[in-house]
Structure 1
Amino acid sequence: MAEHAQNPRLSRRSMLVAPAAVAGGAVLTGVAAAPESTAAVRQITLYAEPLPGGSFGYGLAPGEATIPGPLLEIYEGETLEVELVNNTDQRLSIHPHGVDYDVNSDGSPLNASFNAPGETRTYVWRTRKQADIGGNRFMPGSAGYWHYHDHAMGNDHGTVGIQKGLYGGLIVRRRGDLIPDRQYTVVFNEMLINNKKAPETPMFEARQGERVEFVCVGHGNLPHTFHLHAHRWADTRTGMLTGANDPSPVIDNKNLDPGSSFGFQVLAGEGVGPGVWMYHCHVQMHVDQGMVGLFLVRNPDGGMPAGAQAAIDRFHQHHMAASQSDHSMHHG
């Protein structure tokens, strides 16, 4: 069970699930973008499993659960049928943000929508396209950077499931959206990143010039901010400006509160070159306690930039020293 595998590498770092009419619910990797003729209903099977250390995760196959779970991706107007197999001895579920569903797919005990231990259950998530209702007014569609999580382990709100790693990212794309080369899910959960503390937090990688997509999700009880060194994005649905006169602010730091999510795309190393760049919570007491990770931008040929390994070594030594200092303060 790959607890330490962060965002397992699928084609283009995403998972576009197979059309039900074509593959009977099997997962297709190597799909860059769904064609216009893709069937409206897609199917996927997720497995909820125990992981070492008392954690839990979702995975695409038995024995492949990770924290966070797989990044799920569909297009506006499509329906996603999620067959959830509960391979644990705990009650749990899967609850989405940003999409439509009926009470049977709510994923909450309130609506008796959950998996008993060992049970398999199908949850149906629907999406809609933006609708023109006249008068230059539009009803929003489902496109956005969302997420999913347990809502039943431990209590009726899934507090224990979320604490222990039952969560993942969900993208609903609009036709024509740019498809990235790499995708990463970053979850701030209490004082942890993807349920890890530095120096064990994930190091994300890309080659200079690659288009990288970050999906950022907040959980737990604490307010956070997400900051990425040396890169910036527009505060829009996609992280990009929509035209030469788009007045949207360009930012490099954004609030990431419990239950919230956002995403954006950047060109790795644009304007700054390859190197090792930090991402972290900008609440100072949080970053001081290990809410920090690394974004390694390799040379265009994939090689390590000058000084990169030394920076990575300093990162590990710094936090090891801090950890030892904290230990001595508490036990001296």
Structure 2
Amino acid sequence: MAEKPARPRLTRAMSRRSMLAGAAAAGVTVPVVAAGLGTAAAAPETARPARAGVTRRITVYAEEIGGGLFGYGLSPGTATVPGPILEIWEGDTLEIDLVNNTDRRLSIHPHGVDYDVDSDGSPLNASFNEPGQRRKYIWKTRAPYQKDGRWMPGSAGYWHYHDHAMGGDHGTDGLRAGLYGALVVRREGDLLPKRQYTVVFNGMTINNRVAPDIPVIEANLGERVEFIAIGHGDFFHTFHLHAHRWADNRTGMLSGPDDPTQVIDNRDLNPGDSFGFQVIAGEGVGPGVWMYHCHVQFHSDGGMAGVWLIRNADGSMPEGAQETLDRYHQHHHAMQEPQQLEQQQPGTTHEGH
């Protein structure tokens, strides 16, 4: 087998263009999310909507990327896998003009928000884009409200969107090809992160890639970082983040010292599922390179493992971090075909290295 070319070492001298390209491939918002809610470096740690009940309008372009991949982007030629993180405040409306720049039928379907049948994004309701077609989808949100003396849930949460029409009535081909992304609905008073990352367990891949070709995600020590985890495909997964933990609730944070919410560092992530949380990069453990991966063992052996580089607070490379990154990039994972996975039984061995 031919030897792989050496990978560039990570330095602060990387061009902004390279940084943006790598971040887009990793599913990070750089630097402002689509619907106008800022998560750039200058964003305040807490935020309140300037006004409630507003309608935000964006245009999303569905495009073929190459290599069998399709993606969503906010301008022509910018489609990525996963697509851009879309954010709105609870109580607001998001209007999406979806432009289908492909030769395939497709759509955009949300989880966690309100929409009518015309914005369902499913062939069942004749809600999709033919090749070259432009179509509007309207997603609405609401705050918690009382009904019949009971409190009903609002829309705030870590949700997602995806195709529901390519290759069939359920969009299976679109999901396999990368037509998916994160949808965040904020509640007034929620903390805003410094950085965001979308991690999608899709089939036996992370963001349609396997190690060591999953882009390295980054933060500086002490920064507030938000992870949005999404599941697609046909397999059971669990999401595990090394050295950090979160509360298993809407925000990932405790309301006080006596909050009984379970604190976890591993959670099931099955097809159609999504959750999110915020952590402080390196809190209590320091800078370095930390793994995130599926904890189903033969899945991680097969390449469902990425790495998170936490730099020093000043942005410099921690001691030993480059060597760890080199080990990750030199490691070989054996990707299994779906038929092999179906034959894999608990208790059997799998040689993945």
TM-score under structure 1 length normalisation: 0.89
Aligned residue in 2 for 1:130: 144
Establish whether residue 224 from structure 1 lines up as the match of residue 242 from structure 2.
no
Q: Specify the alignment match of 1:17 in structure 2.
A: 35
Who is 1:295 aligned against?
308
Please tell me whether residue 7 in structure 1 is matched to residue 27 in structure 2.
Answer: yes
CA RMSD of aligned residues (A): 2.2
Number of aligned residue pairs: give it.
Answer: 313
Instruction: For residue 62 of structure 1, give the secondary structure of its aligned residue in structure 2.
Output: coil
Equivalent residue, structure 1, for 2:95 = 81
| Counterpart in the other structure of 1:316 | 329
Whether 2:109 is the aligned partner of 1:95: answer yes
Separation in 2 of the partners of 1:69 and 1:208?
Answer: 27
Structure 2 letter corresponding to 1:200: D
**Do the aligned residues in 1 keep the contact of 2:34 with 2:87 (CA within 8 Å)?**
yes
User: 1:306 corresponds to which residue?
Assistant: 319
Residue of structure 2 equivalent to 1:170:
183
Output the amino acid matched with 2:286: G
Residues 40-89 of structure 1: CA distance to partner in whole angstroms, max 9, x if unpaired? 10111000000111210000000000000000000100000011000000
Aligned-partner Cα distance in 2 for 1:159–1:34: 38
Q: Cα gap change, 1:18/1:299 in structure 2, threshold over 3 Å: closer, same or farther?
A: closer
Report the Cα offset of residue 30 of structure 1.
Answer: 8.3
| CA pair 226-44 structure 1, distance change in 2 beyond 3 A | same
Query: Percent sequence identity over matched residues?
Result: 65
- What amino acid is the match of 1:205? E
SS of aligned partner of 2:231? strand
1:49 aligns with 2:66: no
Distance in 1 (CA, whole Å) between partners of 2:69 and 2:326 is: 28
Please give the per-residue CA displacement for 1:257-313, whole angstroms capped at 9, x wherever unaligned.
Answer: 000000000000000000000000000010000000001100000001000000011
- Give per-residue Cα distances to partners, 1:117-155, cap 9 Å, x unaligned: 0000000000010113475x3100000000000000000
Q: Distance in 2 between matches of 1:229 and 1:106?
A: 37
2:105–2:131: 8 Å Cα contact kept in structure 1? yes
Retained in 2: the 8 A contact 1:10–1:30? Answer: no
Within 2, Cα distance between the matches of 1:179 and 1:130?
20
- Tell me which of 103, 112, 124 is aligned to 2:126: 112
Question: Alpha-carbon deviation of 1:6?
Answer: 2.4
Superposition deviation, residue 205 in structure 1: 0.4
Q: Structure 1: which 5+ runs fail to align?
A: 20-26, 324-329
Task: Choose the corresponding residue for 1:195, options 208, 211, 228.
Answer: 208
Residues 28, 196 of structure 2: 8 Å contact kept: no
Q: Hey, what does 1:326 align to over in structure 2?
A: none
CA contact (8 A) 2:103 2:132 kept: yes
Whole-Å separation in 2 of the counterparts to 1:141 and 1:260: 18
Which of 127, 134, 142 is equivalent to 2:155? Answer: 142
1:242 corresponding residue in structure 2: 255
Counterpart AA for 1:271: G
1: distance between equivalents of 2:39 and 2:229? 24
Write the distance in 1 (CA, Å) between the matches of 2:292 and 2:30: 23
Distance (Å, rounded) in 2 between the aligned partners of 1:30 and 1:307 = 27
2-structure distance, mates of 1:291, 1:30: 30
1:267 to 265, 280, 297: 280
CA contact (8 A) 1:18 1:43 kept: no
1:156 paired residue number: 169
Measure the CA separation in 1 of the matches of 2:156 and 2:61: 26
- Partner residue of 2:217 out of 172, 188, 204: 204
Query: Which structure 2 residue ranges, 5 or more long, are not aligned?
Result: 1-20, 336-350
Find the aligned partners of 1:39 and 1:238 in 2 and give their Cα distance. 22
What TM-score does the superposition give when structure 2 sets the normalisation length? 0.84
CA contact (8 A) 1:146 1:171 kept: yes
Deviation at 1:8, TM superposition (A): 5.0
Structure 1: distance between partners of 2:224 and 2:109:
29
Deviation of the 1:223 alpha carbon: 0.7
